[in-house]
């Protein structure tokens, strides 16, 4: 229980924060036992109404309308005066950034954590999403680094159990001159006039950091279109809650409109409505409909490009830095597509914060603490090409204990600009996953290349190797070990040791200078010295990427069966054998790879044509294939992951399989493996599951014979 003196000091400080006009937002860290933190939370929440309070994390206050850490995306676009993050559940950088973005001017963000001395080694309630099976986190370098920054930033307020409160003076600022209503900034007013006035712009993209009013501005433009152009508006997104600020903007410029519920605003016969991303009406938009997409970087690229192709009138926005996918990655990957296919879409940036004041200490703290503050600097420097570097590159390992060093602070920004899906959450894996390591290419103190890799397989999988090999179990992580074990139905492949390359990135102006290949070669030498069985990597297959990995002696092993939701690409697992065991088994892997492509929905993605695929027949491939098919019959392996094996069996053993109904069914399956509904109709079955059971039963009869 906090002392009466501590509670009185907190009350006085919080009162000053709430009553000071034009006060900056404040970060308060509460550290101690769970009971201590819970008591402080109860004292604070009594001073704010329920609708202006958010509690993210369910460990401390599970019955107090709290949300789990993973639910942070549901509150994007909502505003709070008090936002509390319970890190007893977990410390997730994306969630922290999201919550910081919801706190309004003069508001308070609270981070509750275990005692400072215990937090780096504290076992979080929901930890493990970044740990592979068998791994245990003994000490969090990331949490230790955040603690250091709590203590060195004078703007951070700290309540620590059994210590005197550290409550800095509340800072007030001179607010900017207010623009005419309903605008919150002169910049917002200028862009509204630019897009809607004179020669109106039918389609536009707005990019900004959080809190710049882009969601509200989108709504204001939409409201204007409803009121003056009689246009209906559709807003597709993952969560209905995320459009509340857009609806608020609609009502500012179309005040006669009425909000019926959280999904819809109406004006005369027009509607502005939220729809889920998979709603069928999004495929049949009328020319007069305005499509509005807020936080576009959070939507998978295939869906986003499809929506952009459907809509004649389009308004987009996305956060530049943060947690909805990398805003910079969105710009470097999606914007080129947009320029080529939708040159009518004008791009504008919002710089002025409206949810808080310029120089906001809360935003500054988290951007610096999570290495987001250097993102713009690194990208702009690369794009400008004004910096000069020598030709000498040093290759060195990332020192996880030096989180705040100038070299380490460049790591995340480089990965964010190179990989579309990299967010601040990557910091947890980079610094806290015990088997995750990183090599850096450095020139004149500038990180110009990164290779991140993960150790997989080995003794950690010994107790589950049999279940993995037969397809009965899949554990967290160990992508290479599990993929190759399932591919060959082999326990040996599960317990071999792999170093899988997760990320490899080079700054644009240093590409095609051999830096990426040198990083791979450096890792190769270390792997040989350490007795690793193979290097591997997995990526969305494109001809350019595959050619790069082939040039570095990696060979394809396992094609993905489904397109990735974010990239729209099929994954491809590649490997480079090092040990004699892997070298000896490479021929079988190649045969199984070809077998996997036999009925793949898009074998051309991997440079193969089904008509010319080889049908290898030898003792190794026969034993492997029969083991796989027996696993399907026994129910441990999915039929969909043995389709090529069925095709191989029919092609290579046709003479051995007697003509029968079962053979005919399997031939039907091979001919229609990518459209099982045809078999469902043909054999009058009830659905996909019954169809698969029907096929498997006939496969069992063929194998028995």
Residue 383: pLDDT band with limits 50, 70, 90: very low
What tokens appear for 291 in the block?
A: 């499509």
Q: How far apart are alpha carbons 560 and 598 in whole angstroms? A: 13
Residues 520 and 597 placed together within one structural domain of the fold? yes
Instruction: Let me know the angle formed at the C-alpha of 99 by 96 and 101, rounded to the nearest 5 degrees.
Output: 110
Tell me, yes or no, whether 371 lies in a domain: no
Task: Give me the DSSP letters along 299-316.
Answer: S-HHHHHHHHHH-SEEEE
Q: For tokens 């800095």, what's the residue?
A: 168
Mean per-residue pLDDT for 677-696?
93
Q: In this model, does residue 642 exceed pLDDT 60?
A: yes
The pLDDT tens digits of the residues spanning 566-605 come to 667 899 999 999 999 999 999 999 999 999 998 888 888 8
Distance CA 315, CA 296 (A): 10
Is the distance from CB of 689 to CB of 663 less than 8 angstroms? no
Residue 380 has pLDDT above 90, yes or no: no
Residues whose CB falls within 8 Å of the CB of residue 165, separated by 6 or more in sequence, listed in order: 6, 9, 10, 13, 157, 158, 159
Do 624 and 566 belong together in one domain?
no
Average per-residue pLDDT for the chain: 90
3-state secondary structure 462-475: HHHHHHHHCCCCCC
Q: 43: part of which helix (H) or strand (E)? A: helix 34-45
Q: What is the CATH number of the domain that holds 222?
A: 3.40.50.300
* Domain edge (last residue) among 560, 583, 612: 612
pLDDT the model gives residue 374? 61
Determine the Cα–Cα distance for residues 563 and 302; give it in Å rounded to an integer.
Answer: 10
Nearest to 447 by CA among 398, 385, 402: 398
Residue 176 lies in a domain: no
Mean pLDDT of 19-24: 95
pLDDT of residue 459: 96
- 322 and 218 within one domain: yes
Q: What is the mean pLDDT of residues 114-131?
A: 89
Q: Do 150 and 237 lie in a common domain?
A: no
Q: Using 50, 70 and 90 to split pLDDT, how confident is the model at 322? A: low
Q: Quick count: other Cβ atoms within 10 Å of Cβ 336?
A: 10
Q: Give the pLDDT confidence of 210-254 residue by residue, as tens digits.
A: 889 999 999 999 999 999 988 999 999 888 878 888 999 999 999
Q: What span, in angstroms and rounded, lies between the C-alpha atoms of 315 and 223?
A: 12
Place of tokens 């503050």: 373
Instruction: Determine, yes or no, domain membership for 300.
Output: yes
Q: What pLDDT, on the 0 to 100 scale, is given for residue 373?
A: 79
Token pair recorded at residue 108 = 């308070």
Domain count of the fold of the chain:
4
Cα separation, 245 vs 219, in Å, equals 7
Residue 168 lies in a domain: no
Rounded CA separation 586/576 (Å): 9
Single residue among 581, 612, 643 that ends a domain in this structure: 612
CATH number of residue 144's parent domain:
3.40.50.11040
pLDDT confidence of residue 328 = 52
- The reply to whether 463 and 586 lie within a common domain is yes
Cα of first residue to Cα of last residue in the chain, in angstroms, is 74
Q: Pick from 116, 172, 124, 126: which is nearest to 149 by CA?
A: 116
Residue ending a domain, choose from 309, 334, 350: 350
Q: Is residue 166 part of a domain?
A: no
pLDDT band at 387 (very low <50, low <70, confident <90, very high): very low
Residue 365 Cα distances to 82, 89, 107, 373, angstroms: 17, 22, 15, 9
Greater confidence, 641 or 382? 641
CATH of the domain at 398: 3.40.630.30
Domain containing 253 equals: 186-350
Query: Helix, strand or coil for residue 659?
Result: coil
Domain match, 657 and 577 both: no
Query: Residue 30: what are its φ and ψ, rounded to 5°?
Result: -110, 120
User: What is the Cα–Cα distance from 217 to 248, expressed in whole angstroms?
Assistant: 10
CB 417 within 8 A of CB 378: yes
Task: Note whether residue 192 is domain-resident.
Answer: yes
486 plus 556 within the same structural domain: yes
Q: What is the pTM of this model?
A: 0.86
Asked if residue 419 belongs to a domain, the reply is: yes
Same domain? For 557 and 601 the reply is: yes
DSSP state of 173: -
Co-location of 314 and 424 in the same domain:
no
Q: Are residues 638 and 599 in the same domain?
A: no
- Distance (Å, whole) CA 472 – CA 469: 8
The residues near 559 (Cβ < 8 Å, ≥ 6 apart) are 541, 570, 571, 572, 573, 593, 596, 597, 600, 603, 605, 606
Contacts of 174 (CB under 8 A, 6+ apart): 22
Q: Are 136 and 434 in contact (CB under 8 A)?
A: yes
Distance from chain centroid for Cα 106 = 31
Sheet holding 264-267, edge to edge: 258-261, 264-267, 270-276, 233-237, 290-293, 313-319, 204-208, 346-350
- Cβ atoms of 445 and 410 within 8 Å: the answer is no
106-118 tens-digit pLDDT: 999 999 999 999 9
**pLDDT exceeds 70 at position 59:** yes
**Could you tell me if 418 and 410 are in contact, meaning their C-beta atoms sit under 8 angstroms apart?**
no
Same domain? For 140 and 257 the reply is: no
User: d(Cα 578, Cα 584) in Å, to the nearest integer?
Assistant: 10
Do 214 and 114 belong to one domain? no
The verdict on residue 563 lying in a domain is: yes
């Amino acid at each position: 229980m906090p002392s009466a003196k501590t509670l009185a000091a907190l009350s006085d400080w919080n009162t000053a924060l709430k009553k000071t006009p034009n006060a900056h937002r404040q970060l308060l860290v509460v550290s101690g036992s769970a009971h201590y933190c819970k008591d402080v939370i109860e004292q604070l929440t009594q001073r704010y109404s329920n609708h202006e309070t958010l509690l993210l994390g369910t460990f401390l206050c599970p019955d107090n309308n709290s949300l789990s850490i993973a639910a942070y995306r549901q509150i994007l676009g909502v505003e709070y005066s008090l936002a509390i993050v319970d890190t007893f559940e977990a410390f997730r950088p994306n969630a922290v950034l999201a919550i910081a973005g919801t706190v309004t001017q003069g508001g308070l963000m609270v981070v509750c954590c275990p005692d400072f001395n215990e937090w780096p080694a504290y076992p979080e309630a929901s930890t493990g999403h970044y740990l592979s099976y068998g791994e245990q986190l003994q000490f969090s370098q990331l949490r230790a680094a955040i603690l250091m920054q709590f203590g060195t930033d004078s703007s951070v307020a700290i309540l620590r159990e059994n210590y005197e409160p550290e409550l800095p003076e509340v800072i007030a600022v001179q607010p900017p001159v207010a623009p005419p209503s309903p605008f919150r900034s002169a910049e917002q007013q200028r862009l509204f006039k630019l897009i809607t006035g004179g020669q109106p712009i039918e389609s536009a993209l707005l990019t900004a950091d959080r809190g710049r009013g882009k969601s509200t501005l989108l709504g204001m433009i939409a409201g204007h279109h409803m009121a003056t152009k009689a246009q209906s508006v559709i807003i597709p997104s993952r969560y209905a809650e995320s459009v509340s600020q857009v609806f608020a903007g609609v009502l500012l410029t179309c005040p006669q409109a009425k909000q019926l519920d959280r999904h819809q605003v109406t004006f005369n016969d027009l509607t502005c409505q939220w729809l889920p991303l998979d709603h069928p009406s999004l495929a049949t938009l009328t020319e007069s409909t305005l499509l509005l997409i807020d936080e576009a970087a959070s939507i998978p690229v295939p869906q986003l490009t499809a929506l952009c192709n459907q809509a004649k009138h389009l308004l987009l926005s996305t956060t530049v830095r943060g947690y909805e996918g990398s805003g910079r990655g969105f710009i470097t990957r999606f914007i080129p597509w947009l320029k080529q296919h939708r040159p009518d879409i004008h791009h504008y940036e919002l710089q002025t914060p409206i949810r808080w004041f310029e120089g906001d200490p809360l935003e500054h703290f988290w951007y610096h603490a999570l290495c987001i503050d250097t993102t713009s600097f690194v990208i702009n420097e690369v794009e400008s090409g004004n910096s000069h570097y020598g030709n000498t590159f040093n290759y060195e390992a990332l020192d996880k204990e030096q989180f705040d060093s100038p070299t380490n602070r460049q790591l995340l920004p480089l990965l964010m600009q190179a990989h579309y899906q990299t967010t601040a959450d990557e910091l947890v894996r980079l610094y806290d996953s015990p088997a995750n390591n990183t090599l850096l290419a450095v020139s004149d103190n500038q990180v110009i290349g990164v290779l991140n890799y993960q150790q997989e397989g080995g003794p950690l999988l010994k107790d589950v190797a049999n279940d993995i090999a037969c397809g009965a179990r899949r554990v967290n992580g160990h992508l290479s070990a599990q993929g190759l074990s399932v591919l060959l139905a082999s326990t040996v492949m599960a317990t071999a040791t792999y170093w899988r390359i997760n990320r490899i990135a080079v700054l644009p102006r240093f590409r095609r200078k051999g830096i990426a290949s040198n990083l791979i070669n450096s890792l190769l030498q270390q792997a040989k010295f350490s007795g690793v069985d193979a290097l591997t990597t997995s990526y969305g297959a494109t001809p350019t990427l595959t050619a790069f990995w082939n040039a570095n002696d990696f060979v394809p092993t396992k094609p993905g069966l489904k397109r990735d939701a974010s990239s729209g690409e099929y994954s491809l697992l590649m490997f480079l054998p090092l040990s004699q065991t892997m070298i000896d088994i490479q021929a079988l892997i190649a045969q199984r790879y070809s077998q996997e492509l036999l009925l793949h929905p898009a074998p051309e993605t991997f440079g193969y044509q089904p008509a010319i695929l080889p049908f290898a027949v030898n003792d190794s491939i026969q034993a492997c294939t029969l083991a796989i098919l027996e696993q399907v019959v026994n129910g441990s392996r999915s039929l969909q992951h043995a389709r090529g094996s069925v095709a191989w069996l029919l092609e290579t053993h046709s003479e051995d399989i007697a003509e029968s109904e079962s053979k005919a069914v399997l031939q039907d399956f091979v001919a229609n493996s990518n459209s099982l509904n045809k078999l469902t109709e043909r054999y009058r079955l009830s659905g996909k599951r019954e169809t698969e059971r029907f096929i498997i039963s006939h496969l069992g009869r063929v194998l028995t014979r």
